[in-house]
A and B are shown apart, each in its own frame.
Chain A
Amino acid sequence: MTTATAPALPRTSVKPFYFNTSAHLLRITRQKANTLAEFLDALRECPDGSIFEHTFRTLEEHHFIGEGFSNDFAHWVLSSCNEPSLAEGLASVDVREFTSVADLRDRFIQIVQIFLQRSAEAATRASRETFYFCAADAVVIPTNFVARTLHEFSEGLRGVSVHCIHHHFIEARLRLKLMSNDFSQWLHEDLGLTEAARRLNRIDIYTATLDDVREQIIRIVERALI
């Protein structure tokens, strides 16, 4: 039996990884809710940008909170409507399981609908605070970091802002329409580091701050360097 030597991992990619970031401006939409029934209507009618803002984007805005914050809908339902079971249901929605805002919207609508079918009396109870639906307008901007090698990639990860991490690691699935992210895609497709790419996809963004997420990504990438 002959022993085949594993081919050396390609450490230089033909296609460089350009670190970009996105900056968002909040627009106030027409939808608002003072009851759960109004909330359900607004969930159906609001622009896609609102679903994005109150789920994907709010994670970025509150990236420093390691635990206890999932999305704006869950937070409002708990703090202003005092409906902990509905809040738990909404909070359990993991944005990374969705590659389209339409599917994400449907999931939230379904959760609220089921709750109101079981607790009809909650539908018209006035909330303590109004929920205002906002939407984010985005501008994508470059950064100073470009990576051609794993080492440069690791340096880039250290140097960019957490907004850049969010842009490539969390928002990316809406662009890619894949259950993945820009980092994993590059590691897998351009460097052949499939295991590292897979491990990145297992990082839990809901139990860590974005800075912690960055550290976990760097650790995985640096392990692949060894």
Chain B
Amino acid sequence: MEPMELQTAPVSEMATSEVVSHSNAVSTPIAPLREERRRKPRTWETPPAPVPAPHLDDYKSIVGLPVIDELRFLANGLKGKTLKMVNSTAVGGGVAEMLNQLVPLLNELDLRTKWDVITGGNDFFEVTKAFHNALQGSDYKLTPQARDIFLIHNEQNRKRMEFSEDVVVIHDPQPAALVRGREDSSRRWIWRCHIDLSNPNPDVWGFLRPFIEQYDAAIFSSQSFTRQLAIPQYLFYPCIDPLSEKNKDLDDSFVQQVCDEFGVDRSRPIVTQVSRFDRAKDPVGVVAAFKQARKYVDCQLVLAGGGATDDPEGATVLKEVTESAGEDPDIIILDLPPWCALEINALQRASTIIVQKSIREGFGLTVTEALWKGKPTIAGAVGGIPNQIIHKLTGALVHSVEGCAYQMRYLLTHPQFAKELGENGRKHVKENFLMTTNVRRWLLLCRILLGSGTN
């Protein structure tokens, strides 16, 4: 995809502390603009076509030849083996996005991999959405009807699908009951759980657990997301693709263009948080921390995210953030549609430090993205973030607004230390959280479960 053309306006002409909505369909900001001086950038009105999946050799320049060779050697032990991935959607969402990249790479390594998607009516997906939320701690009353709907649709899918592969991987709770279809004990069934099960609704978990324990193994994204189970549990960290729009290298001229367009002054330090306008991400806390830090050090704050147009709570949170920012000319709030990956990438690259002050979090892939760009990163010590940020070694972990403000001040005034954190953070991601590492984990798991050469 070609970078978009951006209209630019001199920084001096731009109003600040305004919400700029870049979803052209809904461009009315929540708060009235003080002045209509900031022009709306011409972003894509609809999502751009997906970028073709990369090949293994495309990663060579990033991770090095020995890493690619290791993948090929690992795959050699799986010649002739087959794998099937099953999830609930072919487009949208992190799982589909990951499978879109992973499946071609596994096939390129001659591990013949199929990807099937379950079908179901609205009633099924309403139930599974409720299950999804309940498993992450929401209140929910499990009814016999919901159980029946879940089982009937799983059974219909089981009859429709074939499971002749050596390894079958079922993603998330929606298709979890497909395991009842396993007939041949020589095949291996794996449940890949992408959600946080640390505090599930007991009724829903009690209903699903007997299915989960029929699998040969379960995979979780963080140690803290697991439950005690009678089957082996493996740890697969989520990953980012260094070749994706959101993470690939960008020309500095494009970064400059985006900053000019959004009114971000690159001659002064930039503190950025990229995340949905969601209370779990504590954007109001970020504004408060920024205001404390700025008493001591000159800087700007960019809050770039989305979710305000398609989520009523998102709109409320955006309003709260805008109010807390007040008339501050150095706080720039951007409400972007989900397909603005290139702009997010550019803003992250332009940043001096990146913040993810979450008070609840999944794995926190925005932290991974920030670290990959070599940015000194401050983040809340929740969810999967401590897996990525080792305090004072690959970033800074914080537990409060005051802690966040202190780390902003410290990192902005100790650029050498900040640089070292950023460099370590990037190496940590290169080693543990890139797509190539994910490929390696799948190959390893298949070899271990199929007994194809373990120590």
Q: How far is the CA of A30 from the CA of B424 in the complex (A)?
A: 31
Chain A residues whose CB sits within 8 angstroms of the CB of B42 once the complex forms: none
Chain B residues whose CB sits within 8 angstroms of the CB of A144 once the complex forms: 69
Would B386 and A129 count as touching, CB distance under 8 A? yes
> Does B90 sit within 8 A of A, measured CB to CB?
no
Chain B residues whose CB sits within 8 angstroms of the CB of A26 once the complex forms: 234-235
Would A141 and B73 count as touching, CB distance under 8 A? yes
Closest to A130 in B: B224
Closest to B220 in A: A28
Would A134 and B66 count as touching, CB distance under 8 A? no
The one of B70, B233, B234, B397 that contacts A23, using a Cβ cutoff of 8 Å: B70
Would A137 and B69 count as touching, CB distance under 8 A? no
> Does B431 sit within 8 A of A, measured CB to CB?
yes
Q: How far is the CA of A161 from the CA of B444 in the complex (A)?
A: 17
> Does A111 sit within 8 A of B, measured CB to CB?
no
Would A27 and B233 count as touching, CB distance under 8 A? yes
Among A22, A132, A164, find the residue whose CB has the most chain B CB atoms closer than 10 A.
A132
Q: How far is the CA of A22 from the CA of B427 in the complex (A)?
A: 19
A138 CB to nearest B CB, Å: 5
Q: How far is the CA of A141 from the CA of B67 in the complex (A)?
A: 12
> Does B74 sit within 8 A of A, measured CB to CB?
yes
A133-170 interface (Cβ within 8 A of B): 134, 137-144, 159-161, 163-164
Among B74, B444, B453, find the residue whose CB has the most chain A CB atoms closer than 10 A.
B444
> Does A98 sit within 8 A of B, measured CB to CB?
no
Would A62 and B428 count as touching, CB distance under 8 A? yes
Given contacts A28-B234, A137-B454, contact A68 B223 (CB under 8 A): no
> Does A18 sit within 8 A of B, measured CB to CB?
no
Would A164 and B66 count as touching, CB distance under 8 A? yes
The 5 closest A-B pairs by CB, nearest first: A132-B223, A161-B66, A64-B427, A26-B235, A141-B73
Residue ranges of A at the interface with B (Cβ–Cβ < 8 Å): 21-28, 30, 32, 61-65, 68-69, 75, 79, 128-130, 132, 134, 137-144, 159-161, 163-164
Chain B residues whose CB sits within 8 angstroms of the CB of A75 once the complex forms: 390
Chain B residues whose CB sits within 8 angstroms of the CB of A159 once the complex forms: 65-66
B37 CB to nearest A CB, Å: 45
> Does B61 sit within 8 A of A, measured CB to CB?
no
What is the count of residue pairs linking A and B with beta-carbon distances less than 8 angstroms?
92
Would A25 and B441 count as touching, CB distance under 8 A? yes
Q: How far is the CA of A149 from the CA of B116 in the complex (A)?
A: 51
Would B223 and A143 count as touching, CB distance under 8 A? no
> Does B319 sit within 8 A of A, measured CB to CB?
no
Chain A residues whose CB sits within 8 angstroms of the CB of B228 once the complex forms: 30
Given contacts A28-B226, A139-B447, contact A69 B390 (CB under 8 A): yes
Chain A residues whose CB sits within 8 angstroms of the CB of B391 once the complex forms: 79
Chain A residues whose CB sits within 8 angstroms of the CB of B393 once the complex forms: 62, 65, 68-69
A10 CB to nearest B CB, Å: 29
Over the window 214-235 of chain B, the binary record of Cβ atoms lying under 8 Å from chain A Cβ atoms (1 yes, 0 no) is 0000001001101010001111
Q: How far is the CA of A32 from the CA of B228 in the complex (A)?
A: 11
Mostly, the A contact residues are strand
Q: How far is the CA of A32 from the CA of B453 in the complex (A)?
A: 29
Interface size class for chain B? 35 or more
The one of A30, A128, A132 that contacts B224, using a Cβ cutoff of 8 Å: A132
Q: How far is the CA of A143 from the CA of B390 in the complex (A)?
A: 31
Q: How far is the CA of A142 from the CA of B283 in the complex (A)?
A: 49
The one of A68, A79, A132, A161 that contacts B64, using a Cβ cutoff of 8 Å: A161
Chain B residues whose CB sits within 8 angstroms of the CB of A22 once the complex forms: 455
> Does B151 sit within 8 A of A, measured CB to CB?
no
Q: How far is the CA of A142 from the CA of B74 in the complex (A)?
A: 9
Chain A residues whose CB sits within 8 angstroms of the CB of B226 once the complex forms: 28, 132
Q: How far is the CA of A160 from the CA of B432 in the complex (A)?
A: 18
For the complex with contacts A27-B232, A130-B223, A161-B66, 17 further pairs of A-B residues with Cβ separation under 8 Å are A21-B70, A23-B74, A23-B440, A25-B234, A25-B444, A27-B235, A30-B228, A62-B428, A68-B392, A68-B393, A132-B223, A134-B223, A134-B235, A141-B70, A141-B73, A144-B69, A164-B66
Chain B residues whose CB sits within 8 angstroms of the CB of A142 once the complex forms: 73
Q: How far is the CA of A160 from the CA of B73 in the complex (A)?
A: 13
Chain A residues whose CB sits within 8 angstroms of the CB of B381 once the complex forms: 128-129
Chain A residues whose CB sits within 8 angstroms of the CB of B394 once the complex forms: 65
Subset of 9 A-B contacts with CB under 8 Å: A21-B66, A25-B441, A26-B234, A27-B235, A28-B220, A28-B226, A128-B381, A132-B223, A139-B455
> Does B448 sit within 8 A of A, measured CB to CB?
yes
> Does B445 sit within 8 A of A, measured CB to CB?
yes
Chain B residues whose CB sits within 8 angstroms of the CB of A21 once the complex forms: 66, 70
Closest to B226 in A: A28
Q: How far is the CA of A30 from the CA of B233 in the complex (A)?
A: 9
B383 CB to nearest A CB, Å: 11
A157 CB to nearest B CB, Å: 12
Given contacts A25-B448, A134-B223, contact A139 B235 (CB under 8 A): no
Closest to B432 in A: A61
Would A140 and B455 count as touching, CB distance under 8 A? yes
Would B392 and A143 count as touching, CB distance under 8 A? no
B72 CB to nearest A CB, Å: 9
Chain A residues whose CB sits within 8 angstroms of the CB of B392 once the complex forms: 68
Chain B residues whose CB sits within 8 angstroms of the CB of A65 once the complex forms: 390, 393-394, 424
B361-389 interface (Cβ within 8 A of A): 381, 386
Q: How far is the CA of A139 from the CA of B442 in the complex (A)?
A: 12
